[in-house]
A and B are shown apart, each in its own frame.
Chain A
Amino acid sequence: MILLTAILVGVLFAQSTYLILQRSFVRILFGIILLANAANLAVLAMSGDPSGKGVPIADGRTELSADPLPQALILTAIVIGFGVAAYFIALLYRTFLDWKTTDAGELFAKSTTDDSNSES
């Protein structure tokens, strides 16, 4: 299952990178959300193959448990990823209000030239 996860992580990373390389800020936002998910999976793969293991709960079972540490780290990462996404959404909203564009290239062109306000 590690191989499968690795392939999935690779695919997701490729897709999210492609999205982040776009000029549309909305697509970049989706790319970042996707990237956070992919990164979580990559960390999860570190806990090793889960087959034959139980959940990491110490209730007296004798079977092997999954590694709880990556899970705890991912739990933190999910929440922080949410914070970042939320901030990015607010930033996008403000950028759009100020610059009337969702295009990264256009934004930089506007912000570096004087006719930044020529909103048609």
Chain B
Amino acid sequence: MAASGILIAIFAPLVGMVLLALLGERLKTNVRWFALPFPLLSFALIVLETIGHSAGTQNFIHVGSWIPGLGLDFLILIDGLSLFFGLVVSGVGVLIFFYASQYLDDHYAHHDRFYAYLLLFMAAMLGTVFSGNLLLMFVWWELTGIASFFLIGFLHNKAESRAGARMAFMVTITTGLLMLAGIMLVSEVTGSFNLNEILSQPIDPSHSLWVAAFLLIAIGGFGKSAQFPFYFWLPNAMAAPTPVSAYLHSATMVKLGVFLTARIYPMFSEVDLWTPVLTTIGLTTFIIASVFALISHKLKAILAYSTVAALAFLISFYGMAPAAGVQWDLMHIQNHVFYKGCLFMVVGIVTHCTGMTDIRQLGGLRKRMPLLATITAISAASMAGVIVTFGFLSKDYALAEKFDYMTEYGSFMPAMPLVLFILGSILKVAFSLRLFWHIFMGEEPEAVGKHFHAPSFGVQLSPLILAVATVFFGLFPSLLQGFYEKLAVPGLHAELKPNSLYLWHGFDNIAFQLSAAILAIGALLYFVLDRFTGWRWEGIPKAIRLDDAFEWGVARIPKFGNLVNQSVRADTATAYIPIISATFIAVFGAYIVYNPAVLGALAGKWQMPFHEAEVIALLTATLIAVAAQGILIASRWTTQLIFTSIVGFLITFYFVLFRAPDLAMTQILIEAATLIMVLLLLARFPRRAQAGEVTGKAQALLKTSNSVIAIGVGVIVGSLTLIFGLAPSAPIGPWYIENTLEKAYGTNAVNTILVDFRALDTLLEVGVLLIAGLGILALLMRRKRTPAEMREGAHGQGGLGIDPEPKR
């Protein structure tokens, strides 16, 4: 059961994606009811798996080898962490799919694609969390990024959607690649990508490669979880339809950074940099994002920044984990999933019903939407950490942990986390209050009433379930104790004290007192801001918006490419040949000049006074060179052709001197054929064509530069020929001579090489001739163009497609 259940849970959504993509066109909006069973199935399977899971164990199941050469095994890891995230992904998935089925109406086109992308995303998420092989995890991890790209850009006719999708994609994929580099380093040190093999090895935590691996993987997590300095992509990803924001960008995908931190905790928590890096980045982001959440005006931006803040808290939480292991991390994550998923769905409904996205345009909706107001009140209270909600517990335990860190474990700035956490929590209370108050309380602006239409109960069902869960677990947290004990992961979690998860710790408890003070100060902060500023600023100041800087940088990339292109490109093919030749000279010339040993090794190998037999060779060579020079000097085409042929026929002699009778024969035949063909060609040209060419005087400068390039090429190729001809090598020729009779039943080694030893080469050579012949046929048989067509000009785009201006 174990492996197959999880495998079905992962791959069922993928199957669903394919089915929906195929059937979607027919089903139209009914596609939603065909999408819903897939998350339900996955959720049910993972619940079953969780029930059967024995507490505190890790099961690695080797499904098969995917790419053995790379060490990429399909290894499933079932432990508390993967089951927990699996439950979150599939459970929230069920709620989101239902919510989307109510939310997406006829205003949205392509419902089939939407659900197909969502299913793809869900499969990728489940694949990521259940991976026991780091490379496998990376593959799924990047697949979530791809699915996220499609979902953010779903409303692709909007510019902001496209920009948001691109930004999210670039940030997460780039940081993902850095993570891949880190994973490579891990395997460099341990020799494996499989987590069970990695964890079973003793590793020196100060090993420099190990530290680098940690930093690179951490960057991958920071990118995915939108931590400083990558936090800017998440608010821009809010251009996606709300179900996507609620699913990917609050509850699941952005949690991958947190998941990754937990997953690598057993590997890297001993690294000295673990606490400083994670704590510094986490707490910095926590404060920045909390401030941004308070000063943003767009509903989704407020929630996006508060999500960034919550993720930052979770990452710093792992950063400050005591040596014995972390406690209650799953509770904090679960808390965030409950209230943030709920709030996203709520603002989606609010925007849907009123058409407003700016919180300043809203107000007084409690009368029109009492149920939604209640839901929001509960979730916002949970975000702020008011007692009787789950958020209270989370904050209470977090505060207690920060105290423990300060008093017991703190080796890195002991009091700082506590101070920053309190500060961030105060901000959190303020924006939670603002979110609720500005939507549902106060006076209702006129514009709201005009557009308003009431939400259905169905669309409110999913947030309602989450809100009820928030209160339920807020009141009866001890029910979860067993759940967390069961999901403990060896190497990550410390053992929980029995019955240590309960609501009421007493008044004289420092955490409770602080918690109450935070609520009071946060509320005060909100009312002070409300009274004295009236929220009149224009969102987040331009100067500190990193997304603008990012866009600026991205826009520079094509500009830079253009610059490079402009500097090396030419509009005509004739201009390219000198560039290519000059490059050839430069590259090989530099090779010869910088490796004097290449030529030095040849010293003494050539005999300068030619011996007798070579007199003929010298004579032939001289004749060839002179005839070739004749082509250059002669002005008439026919004369040039005769000189070309002389060169060709003289080379026949040269072949003979090199003991190559077969070559000599072929050369004569081919030379004769070429001569006839060129003659045929020249006979077709009118006399004036040549006359025009002769009178055209070349410029002196061009002539000189051409000569320089030509001589340069000659020198280089001559030197290379000398090197190849004299350099010691192990020729394989003798082998052919020895074996030609025995293996190929022929005495002529050249012939047997062609038709026997390397017969495939010859076959392909015939193929080349065939292609050339077909090409010639096509060129010659082409219909002659009429005068009218000639006047029209060339067919197709001119200038080899370089010309950007389309032809008329």
The chain A residues found within 8 Å of chain B, CB to CB, are: 1-24, 26-27, 29-30, 33-34, 37-38, 40-42, 44-51, 53-59, 65-72, 74-76, 78-87, 89-94, 96-99, 101-105, 108, 111-114, 116-117, 119
Please determine whether A82 and B628 come into contact, CB atoms closer than 8 angstroms.
Answer: no
B775-805 vs A, Cβ < 8 Å mask (1 yes, 0 no): 1100110101100001111100011100100
Cβ of B693: which chain A residues have Cβ within 8 Å of it?
24, 26, 102-103
The residue that A42 contacts in the complex, of B717, B747, B779, with Cβ under 8 A, is B717
Q: Give 22 A-B contacts (CB < 8 Å), ordered by A residue.
A: A11-B718, A14-B713, A24-B693, A37-B647, A40-B651, A41-B721, A44-B660, A46-B725, A56-B659, A58-B738, A65-B737, A68-B749, A76-B765, A85-B674, A85-B677, A90-B775, A98-B785, A101-B689, A102-B685, A108-B573, A116-B794, A117-B791
Q: Would A67 and B726 count as touching, CB distance under 8 A?
A: no
B610 interface hit (Cβ, 8 Å):
yes
Q: How far is the CA of A37 from the CA of B667 in the complex (A)?
A: 9
Structural contact, A11 and B714, CB atoms closer than 8 A: yes
Tell me, rounded to whole Å, the shortest Cβ–Cβ distance linking B278 to chain A: 59
Contact A112 B798 (CB under 8 A): yes
> In B487-527, which residues have CB < 8 Å from any A CB?
none
The secondary-structure label for the interface of chain A is helix
In the assembly, what is the distance between CA of A89 and CA of B732, in Å? 37
How far in angstroms is the closest Cβ of chain A from B748? 5
The contact of A91 among B721, B732, B748, B779, by CB within 8 Å, is B779
13 additional contacts (CB under 8 A) given A13-B713, A85-B674: A3-B722, A16-B628, A17-B581, A33-B648, A66-B659, A68-B733, A75-B666, A75-B754, A76-B754, A83-B772, A85-B677, A87-B775, A103-B693
Interface size on B, residues (CB 8 A): 112
Interface centre among B640, B733, B761 (most CB of A within 10 A): B733
Given A10-B715, A14-B710, A86-B677, also A104-B737 (CB < 8 A)? no
CA distance A112 to B551 in the complex (A): 36
| Interface presence of B724 (CB below 8 A) | yes
Question: Complex: how many Å from CA A26 to CA B5?
Answer: 73
- Interface positions, chain B 746-771, Cβ under 8 Å from A, are 747-750, 753-754, 758, 761-762, 765, 768-769
Task: List the A residue with the shortest CB-CB distance to B678.
Answer: A89
Residues of A within 8 A of B631 (CB): 15, 19, 27, 30, 34
A90→B663 contact, CB < 8 A = no
Q: Given known contacts A34-B628, A72-B758, A76-B765, is B733 in contact with A67 (CB within 8 Å)? A: yes
Asked if B157 is an interface residue, CB under 8 A from chain A, the answer is: no
B779 proximity list for chain A (CB < 8 A): 87, 90-91, 93-94
A42 to B692, CA, bound (A): 36
- CA gap between A41 and B684 in the complex, in Å: 32
In-complex Cβ contact of B640 among A21, A27, A68, A89 (8 A): A27
CB pair B794 A98 closer than 8 Å: yes
Within 8 A of A (CB), among B677-727: 677-678, 680-682, 684-685, 689, 692-693, 696, 706-707, 709-711, 713-715, 717-722, 724-726
Cβ contact within 8 Å between B776 and A18: no
Which residues of B lie under 8 Å from residue A56 when comparing CB positions?
A: 659, 733, 736-737, 748-750
Inter-chain contact A78/B721, CB cutoff 8 Å: no
Interface residue? B673 (CB, 8 A): yes
Q: What B residues does A93 contact at CB under 8 A?
A: 681, 684, 779-780
- Chain B: minimal CB distance from A27 (Å): 7
Q: Give bound CA distance, A78 to B803, whole Å.
A: 37
Chain A positions within 8 Å of B203 at CB level: none
A57 B747 Cβ-Cβ under 8 A: yes
B621 touches A74 (CB 8 A): no
- Residues of A within 8 Å of B714, CB to CB, are 10-15, 17
Residues from chain A with a CB closer than 8 A to the CB of B706 are 18, 21-22
A78 touches B737 (CB 8 A): no
Q: A118: nearest residue on chain B (CB-CB)? A: B791
Is chain B's binding surface mostly helix, strand, loop or mixed? Answer: helix
Cα of A3 to Cα of B641 in the assembled complex, Å: 28
Segment at the A interface, from B160-168, B463-471, B612-620:
B612-620
Q: Does B33 contact A (CB under 8 A)?
A: no
Inter-chain contacts of A24 with B (CB < 8 A) = 693
**Would A112 and B709 count as touching, CB distance under 8 A?**
no
The answer to whether B617 and A78 touch across the interface, beta carbons within 8 angstroms, is no
For A83, what are the chain B residues with a Cβ–Cβ distance below 8 Å? 768-769, 772-773
Q: Tell me the bound Cα distance from A119 to B651 in angstroms.
A: 41
- Per the bound structure, the CA–CA distance linking A104 and B696 in Å amounts to 13
- With beta carbons under 8 angstroms apart, the residue of B682, B726, B747, B776 that contacts A59 is B747
Give bound CA distance, A31 to B517, whole Å: 90
Cβ contact within 8 Å between B798 and A86:
no
Would you give the shortest CB distance from B657 to chain A, in whole angstroms? 7
Q: Are B659 and A80 in contact (CB under 8 A)?
A: no
- List chain B residues, Cβ under 8 A from A37: 647-648, 651
Q: Which residues of A contact B800 (CB under 8 A)?
A: 111
1/0 contact trace for B625-666 toward A, CB 8 Å?
A: 100110110000100110010011001001101111111001
Shortest beta-carbon distance from B575 to chain A in Å: 9
| Complex alpha-carbon distance, A91 and B780, angstroms | 8
Residue in chain B with minimal CB distance to A52:
B613
